Structures are given as C-alpha cells and as structure tokens.
Amino acid sequence: MKKGLRWYTVKSGYYQWCQSQPANDGVQQSKGWNKIWNLEVPHKIKVFLWRFCRNTLPIRILLRGRGVPAPIVCSMCTGEVEHLRHLFFECGFAKECWQQKGFDSNVWDIESSHEWLLHTLANGPDEILVKMVSVLWGVWFARNKRIFENRFMSPATVMAWSAKQILEWQIANKKVSFSPHLSNRQQGDGRKWQVPEQGCLKINVDASVVDGQNSFGIGMVLRNHQGHYITGKKMRFAGSFSVMEAEMTGITEALTWAQNYTNAVVIESDSLLSVEAIQNGQENLLELGDLIHQCRNILRHNDRLKLNFVRKQANKVAHSIARIPCELNSSIVISSPPFFLLETILSESLAF
C-alpha cells in the first residue's frame, strides 16, 4: 500500500461490507428489489413487499423464534403452523383469495416464499404483479384483522377491499384513467360537486363504517339543477359489514329512493369498486351478488336513472350526513340542511 493520508468514511466501509457478503442465491442482486419500489401501488404496500422479500414480516413462527410468547398456529385456519409459505399460499383462506383473482396457487412450486416472490417480481409483467400483490396484501390485512380485532372477512370481501385500495391510490396519483362508463361531466377535474343538467335531480350517497360499533350508517342528499338542497336521508343498519358491503347497500337505497321521482336522477357514489361492479355486472362477489343484481335491475328498468362515480371531494355532504347520529335500524328524513353543512352546500351551488 502506498504511503500517504487516507480517508475512511462510513459509506466506503458499508460498500466494502456489502461486497464481502455472499450473494444468497441471487436474492441480494435480484432486479426484484427495484421492481418493488417501481410498482404502481401505495407506499405501505411497497414496504410490506420489501419486508416479505427480506423474510422479516412478524409472522408467528418468526416471533416465537425471537422469544415472543405468541401462539404459533395460523389464525386463519387454526390447523397449521403460521409460516410465510403456509399463510400466503397453503392456507385454505389464502388459496380462496388466489382463486378469486384467477390464480391457482396449487401449481406453484414454492420452497422459499420470499425468494420466489423476489424472482417473480423481477420477471413478471406489471399488470399481473399488481394483481398478485393485491392478493398478498389482502391476506395480510385479513390476518391482522383476525388477530387484533377478532374479525373474520371472507376472501371475496378481502379481495374487493385490496383491489379498491390499490385502484383508488392509482386514480389519486393519476396512474390510471377514470372508467369509460363515467360521464364526460365527471371526467373533468372530478374534485368538485357538479350540478345535474336542467330539470334533473342528483342524489349523492355515502356510507360510514366505524370499527367496533357493529353497525354502519348511510347518508343521502337530493339536490336540483341549481344546486339547491331538496331533502336528505340518514339510515343506520345493525351488523358487521365490510366497507364495500356498506357502500353497495347505500347505492341500493339511493336507487330505490330515486324511483319515487319522475325527473331524471343521477346517483353519485365515491365507491369506485361498487360503481364498476354494478356497471360491469360483477355478480360473482359472493356477499355482494344480490345487491349488485338488485341495482342492475333498477337501472335496467328505469332509463331516467344514472349511476356515476365521483371523488370524495365531490361527495362531502353525503359523507357528513352518513355520520349524523341515528337510532339503530331506523332512518330519518332531513328536510332542511343541517347548520354545519350550510356553508358546504352554499359554496357548491354558487360555484355554478
């Protein structure tokens, strides 16, 4: 070594250490690491994937190995040890989730789950990868709901929820365009409430689901083409339901209510997955099938009714009404706009 002054930095030391580590069968140098951060999914899902591929998710067998006195059996089937491969691929619940998305996990030869996922990320097309990621994220979400809240979600509900999470993030970040079923009026900015056409009415609907209350609320508001408040409704139902089930129930109630008017009525919801399920006829969503079928029948037999998706910013009034206190299994008619909503209603009507 030549004599002279040499500088040592933490960065150079870390680089030398990385170079000295074994490649671990290509895992450390896999292109899958870059794909994780480039996938068009929410950041929290990217962190989840990163931990999955590093085999550091806090699953029960790993927690037990670290001295945490936690149960070791799978919380979803209570029959096998909860390790990475079982939880996400071998458990009956996970297999049903994969089937919901059109995958057959039985044909995959998986020995090391985290290495398999990293290899798949490095070589798979983005569209398929996002769909696969939605399954993994949904299984993890359902598992945590079962452990920490003792709530069981069906595979169909979980897959609908995870797809909604990713799709709404993509729309908010302009990764995908709005559905072609949406009207041109709604495809503009999409962030402000729009008045309906001359002589038409508009019903905005939203659902409110609060964990631990074993009930959900629905809020609806009816306005005319001048943006004037006509009436509103608040309903509250007993039972433990997913957000999508509650949103779908709200749309069903709004369509039923709209049939009472002779005017053309536009119904707006900020649940994109629910609106598209109705418009595309996705009646295979099990628990939601009857509601979807009912909504499609109402729309099919009433040409003057139209269902649209809007962003949450354009659904503020219905969102607030859904949170008004109400007796269980009852409904109230709100003939005058609540005081706390006057400013919002006025500003939306004056915008035109």
Domain boundary (152, 172, 192) is at: 172
Could you report how far apart the first and last alpha carbons of the chain are, in Å?
Answer: 78
- Residues 165, 245, single domain; the answer is no
Tokens describing residue 207:
């659902």
Write the CA distances from 262 to 43, 201, 224, 233, 259, integer angstroms. 47, 10, 13, 19, 8
Tokens describing residue 177:
């365009």
* Residue range 292-321: mean pLDDT, rounded: 93
Are 312 and 205 spatial neighbours (Cβ–Cβ below 8 Å)?
Answer: no
* Residue range 149-175: mean pLDDT, rounded: 81
- Residues 165, 205, single domain; the answer is no
Residue 195 has pLDDT above 90, yes or no: yes
Residue 189 maps to a domain? no
Tokens describing residue 338:
């609540």
Q: Which helix (H) or strand (E) holds 215?
A: strand 215-223
Residue 114 maps to a domain? yes
- Residues 207, 339, single domain; the answer is yes
Question: Radius of gyration of the chain from Cα atoms?
Answer: 25
Strands 215-223 and 201-209: antiparallel
Residue 99 maps to a domain? yes
Based on the structure, what is the number of domains in the chain? 2
Chain position carrying tokens 């009525």: 265
- Residues 209, 346, single domain; the answer is yes
The dihedral sign for the CA sequence 147, 149, 150, 152: negative
Strands 305-309 and 215-223: unpaired
Domain boundary (153, 172, 191) is at: 172
- Residues 246, 327, single domain; the answer is yes
Find the domain containing 327 and state its range.
Answer: 201-350
CB-based contacts of 5, cutoff 8 Å, min separation 6:
none
Question: According to the model, what pLDDT value does residue 11 have?
Answer: 59
Query: What phi, psi does 70 have (nearest 5°)?
Result: -105, 155
pLDDT exceeding 90 applies to what percent of the chain?
46
- Residues 206, 168, single domain; the answer is no
**Residue 23 — very low, low, confident or very high, per pLDDT cuts 50/70/90?**
very low
197-228 pLDDT, tens digit per residue, is 999 999 999 999 877 778 999 999 999 998 99
- Residues 39, 138, single domain; the answer is yes
Highest mean pLDDT among 113-127, 174-188, 337-351 belongs to: 113-127
In single-letter form, the type of residue at position 3 comes to: K
- Residues 219, 106, single domain; the answer is no
Q: Which helix (H) or strand (E) holds 295?
A: helix 289-300
Are 290 and 282 spatial neighbours (Cβ–Cβ below 8 Å)?
Answer: no
Residue 179 maps to a domain? no
* Residue range 280-306: mean pLDDT, rounded: 81
- Residues 277, 138, single domain; the answer is no
Residue 6 maps to a domain? no
* Residue range 111-123: mean pLDDT, rounded: 89
β-strand partners of 267? 203, 307
In single-letter form, the type of residue at position 156 comes to: A
Residue 165 maps to a domain? yes
71 vs 81: CA distance, rounded Å = 9
Q: Which position has the higher pLDDT, 168 or 230?
A: 230
Are 118 and 32 spatial neighbours (Cβ–Cβ below 8 Å)?
Answer: yes
**What is the full DSSP assignment across 134-191?**
HHHHHHHHHHHHHHHH-----HHHHHHHHHHHHHHHHHHTTSSPPPTTS-TTTTSS-S
3-state secondary structure of 277: helix
CATH value at residue 267: 3.30.420.10
161 vs 119: CA distance, rounded Å = 26
Interaxial angle between packed helices 155-172 and 243-258, expressed in degrees from 0 to 180 and rounded to the nearest 10: 80
Are 258 and 299 spatial neighbours (Cβ–Cβ below 8 Å)?
Answer: no
- Residues 213, 141, single domain; the answer is no
Residue 308 has pLDDT above 80, yes or no: yes
Chain position carrying tokens 């269902």: 307
pLDDT exceeding 70 applies to what percent of the chain?
83
- Residues 219, 149, single domain; the answer is no
Residue 307 has pLDDT above 60, yes or no: yes
Question: According to the model, what pLDDT value does residue 89 have?
Answer: 92
Write the CA distances from 203 to 23, 235, 317, integer angstroms. 59, 15, 10
- Residues 154, 228, single domain; the answer is no
Are 305 and 299 spatial neighbours (Cβ–Cβ below 8 Å)?
Answer: yes
77 vs 132: CA distance, rounded Å = 21
231-247 pLDDT, tens digit per residue, is 999 999 988 788 888 99
Tokens describing residue 136:
């993994």
Residue 317 has pLDDT above 50, yes or no: yes
Chain position carrying tokens 């910013």: 313
Domain boundary (172, 189, 213) is at: 172
Q: Which of 4-8, 155-159, 266-270, 300-304 has the lowest mean pLDDT?
A: 4-8
Residue 324 maps to a domain? yes
Residue 136 maps to a domain? yes
Residue 298 has pLDDT above 50, yes or no: yes
